Homo-oligomer: A and B are copies of this chain.
Amino acid sequence: MSAASNAPLRQLQKRVGYTFTDQSLLIAALTHRSAGKSNNERLEFLGDSLVNHVVAIDLYQQFPDATEGQLSRLRAKIVRGSHLAEIALRLDLGAALVLGTGERKSGGRNRHSILADALEALAAAILVDAGFEVAREVLAGWFGPSLETLSLTDERDPKTQLQEWLQGNGHPVPVYEVLAVTGEDHAQEFLVSCKVAPFTDVWEGRGGSRRQAEQDAAARVLEHIEHVRK
């Protein structure tokens, strides 16, 4: 099959915003592991870090007053699997996926984890084909609409979010404890711990006030929950 003369792939590349010099990279990015040993898993590894970094640059520029914690939480919204799958659906990646028979029959084309992984692999394939700056520009097209909707003000605070998640899942409220207060008066730093019933780990948080440190700890627990559920 000559990929270059394949009409559906040509149309896909139009939607994606990039036409490959090496069409085999495009095919590799679309090939799920169920289709065999030569698949998109290595590209997905590379693409995951590319997407994380490009979104970090965009957020760094877009929110000059955001703290590190706020930037992390904004990024988590953009790079979470369900959002990547949304973008993959918008680009209609599903139809072009190369799947094993089993995955094909069981609806793999619409599976969110497969779509999200393929989108990351596609990002890496563009990087390998054309370099960082081109990949960054193409990704700006994918993520731009979502980035525009972000705002620092509509972020519910992490302590509230964590408590809602715990109550929604039938767990008791978290227990915060101040471990240390350091620094001069004008730049005091609080270190707190946060224990959360469903987990055996204990999280720590820092901040210029007890409240800020607790918010920081709660944000870390939320990141863990997001990470584990991914």
Contact = CB atoms under 8 A, between A and B. Distances in A.
Interface of A: 33-37, 41-42, 44-46, 48-50, 52-53, 56-57, 60, 66-68, 71-72, 100-103, 106, 127, 132-133, 136, 182-184, 186-187, 189, 198-201, 206, 227-228
Contact of A34 (B49, B101, B187): B187
Copies assembled: 2
Contacts of A41: 67-68
Given A41-B68, A68-B45, A187 B35 contact: yes
A101 B184 contact: yes
The DSSP consensus for interface residues of chain A is: helix
Contacts of A103: 182-183
B71 A42 contact: yes
Contacts of A53: 49-50, 52-53
B33 A45 contact: no
A228 B100 CA distance: 36
A66 to B, nearest CB: 8
Contacts of A102: 182-184
A64 B187 CA distance: 49
Contacts of A136: 132
Given A133-B132, A198-B200, A67 B42 contact: yes
17 contacts: A33-B206, A34-B182, A34-B183, A36-B186, A41-B68, A44-B68, A45-B56, A45-B60, A46-B57, A46-B60, A49-B49, A50-B56, A52-B53, A100-B183, A102-B182, A103-B182, A198-B200
A98 to B, nearest CB: 12
A37 B65 CA distance: 11
Nearest to A228: B201
Contacts of A227: 227
B56 A68 contact: no
3 cross-chain pairs, A with B, having the tightest CB-CB distances, nearest first: A49-B56, A49-B53, A53-B53
A18 B137 CA distance: 26
Given A49-B49, A227-B227, 18 more contacts: A33-B206, A34-B182, A35-B187, A36-B186, A41-B67, A41-B68, A45-B56, A45-B68, A46-B60, A48-B56, A49-B56, A52-B52, A101-B184, A102-B184, A103-B183, A132-B136, A199-B199, A199-B201
